[in-house]
Structure 1
Amino acid sequence: MSKNKKVFVFDDNTDILELCTIILEDAGYEIKTSATSNNIIDQVLSYTPDIIFMDNWLPDVGGIDATRALKGHETLKCIPVIYFSANNDVKALAEQAGADGYLSKPFDIQELEDIISLHLSA
């Protein structure tokens, strides 16, 4: 019985959240979005996604700290976190945060789907 894979997207830009929701639902994923990474552990535990997209610029708790919190959590550390940002240093930021991968903004639909497939096929 195949269950839809669950994607959690953290981004303070509602346009990006809407875009990701449309693309990913269309591709057959379940998606949850959040504009803030406050209480990141509780947010993720309540949804248990298969993969997480983390924006760099989040209000209050930034993407790096949020990713580190997830990677330091016994239950959640195995969920792939994809760092995504329009920052030129997205690769360095992803490494600093301990993310599993990164995606530069703006991204195209294929890139988004490819990176999910890559990390969920393992």
Structure 2
Amino acid sequence: MHPEAPRRILVVDDDPTVTEVVTGYLKHAGFLVDNAADGHEALVFAANGHPDLVVLDLMLPGMDGIDVCRALRRSSPATAVIMLTARGEEEDRVLGLEVGADDYVTKPFSPRELVLRVEAVLRRRTAVAAAAPGAGTLLRAADLVVDPAARRAVKGGDDLALTLREFDLLVYFMRNPGRAVSREQLLQEVWGWGFGDLSTVTVHTRRLRTKIEEDPASPRLIQTVWGVGYRFDSSEEKD
């Protein structure tokens, strides 16, 4: 299930019981696991250990999970982040997604479910690069050039700092130009979920637009298809 080199996970939570349980399950699943009890320690670990994924509690002493996620996005945009929150309100989930979290799990949660979410996020990273057809082919639209295998996206000659999910979403759109796709389809195809919170798709699409559109308020590439979802327009000429 895992590649030859075990993936490294950083678990950030100030509750030792949660940390112990989550760490145990992740190690049992074959991951290498580091721990941090606060935001500043987490950023030091992330800078030195280069984790593949960070399991990040929202409520941390001193520097909270939102600020940690923002800092991670600036320093390590390709590192996946799964946010843990003790709150169930939609605004907390959306805020985590807005600052760049790839997924979230609400406390109390099943440790096995968290492991499955971790595996799904990391598996998707590999699948996007290897997906047929034309896995080694560059994708182009307007002034965008995307290399799925290298996980690199360039706009107008400048590298884009995309999160794991944002990159996957962009690749999916560019591989399916002109198709109207629903948020349910995107949740299935990009996230690999059979069901879930559709606001996840909405927030990630909005974030992606801010990075690839000339005017995110009037998008030309990722267009809204009312009552359906979205359509990616790769044509050079637009009305």
Is TM (by shorter chain) over 0.5?
A: yes
Is residue 51 of structure 1 aligned with residue 58 of structure 2? no
Query: Unaligned regions of 5+ residues in structure 1, if any?
Result: none
Q: CA RMSD in A?
A: 1.5
- Does the Cα contact within 8 Å between 2:57 and 2:83 map onto a contact in 1? yes
Match of 2:7 in 1: 5
Match of 1:100 in 2: 102
Deviations 1:54-77 (A, max 9, x none): 10111110000010011012xx11
Is residue 84 of structure 1 aligned with residue 84 of structure 2? yes
For 2:41 and 2:29, the matched residues in 1 are separated by: 29
Match of 1:61 in 2: 63
Aligned partner of residue 106 in structure 1, secondary structure? coil
Aligned partner of residue 77 in structure 2, secondary structure? coil
For 1:33 and 1:82, the matched residues in 2 are separated by: 14
Which of the pair has more CA radius of gyration? 2
Aligned partner of residue 46 in structure 1, secondary structure? helix
Aligned partner of residue 38 in structure 1, secondary structure? helix
> May I ask how many residue pairs the two structures share in their alignment?
120
Aligned partner of residue 2 in structure 1, secondary structure? coil
Which one-letter code corresponds to 1:42 in the other structure? V
For 1:100 and 1:39, the matched residues in 2 are separated by: 21
For 1:86 and 1:9, the matched residues in 2 are separated by: 16
- Does the Cα contact within 8 Å between 2:21 and 2:111 map onto a contact in 1? no
Q: 1:31 aligns with which of 9, 33, 38?
A: 33
- Does the Cα contact within 8 Å between 1:7 and 1:31 map onto a contact in 2? yes
Shift of 1:39: 5.2
For 1:40 and 1:106, the matched residues in 2 are separated by: 22
- Does the Cα contact within 8 Å between 1:64 and 1:96 map onto a contact in 2? no
Shift of 1:110: 2.6
For 1:110 and 1:21, the matched residues in 2 are separated by: 11
Deviations 1:11-60 (A, max 9, x none): 01010110011111111111011111115432201111110011011111
Aligned partner of residue 72 in structure 1, secondary structure? helix
Shift of 1:4: 0.9
Query: Unaligned regions of 5+ residues in structure 2, if any?
Result: 126-239
Aligned partner of residue 55 in structure 2, secondary structure? strand
For 1:64 and 1:83, the matched residues in 2 are separated by: 9
The structure with higher relative contact order (CA 8 Å, sep 6+) is 1
Percent identity for Structure 1 against Structure 2:
28
